[in-house]
Amino acid sequence: MWAWLRKLAKWPSKEDLGAARLLGPCWEMTTPLDQAAFVRALHALLPRGATLYLQGGNPGLEVARCLSGLATMTTFNVAWGTAAPEPLVWHVPATRAKLEALAALFVDHAPHEICDHFHVYHARRVLVQWYDALSTDPVLLSTDLPAAGIQALAERCSCTCRRATA
Tens place of pLDDT per residue across the chain (166 aa): 444 444 444 444 444 444 677 888 999 999 999 999 999 999 999 999 999 999 988 999 999 999 999 999 887 777 766 666 778 899 999 999 999 999 999 999 999 999 999 999 999 899 999 988 877 889 999 999 999 999 999 999 999 999 998 8
With contact defined as beta carbons under 8 Å apart, do 105 and 48 qualify? no
Distance between CA atoms of residues 131 and 134, nearest Å: 9
pLDDT more than 90, % of the chain: 66
Predicted local distance difference test score (pLDDT) of residue 18: 45
With contact defined as beta carbons under 8 Å apart, do 42 and 152 qualify? no
pTM of the model: 0.85
Per-residue pLDDT tens for 72-85? 988 777 776 666 67
**In whole angstroms, how far apart are CA 163 and each of 16, 19, 69?**
28, 24, 36
Predicted local distance difference test score (pLDDT) of residue 3: 47
Predicted local distance difference test score (pLDDT) of residue 82: 63
Distance between CA atoms of residues 62 and 100, nearest Å: 17
Distance between CA atoms of residues 66 and 139, nearest Å: 24
- The residues with which 54 forms a beta bridge, in sequence order, are 90, 118
Element (H, E) at 161: strand 161-165
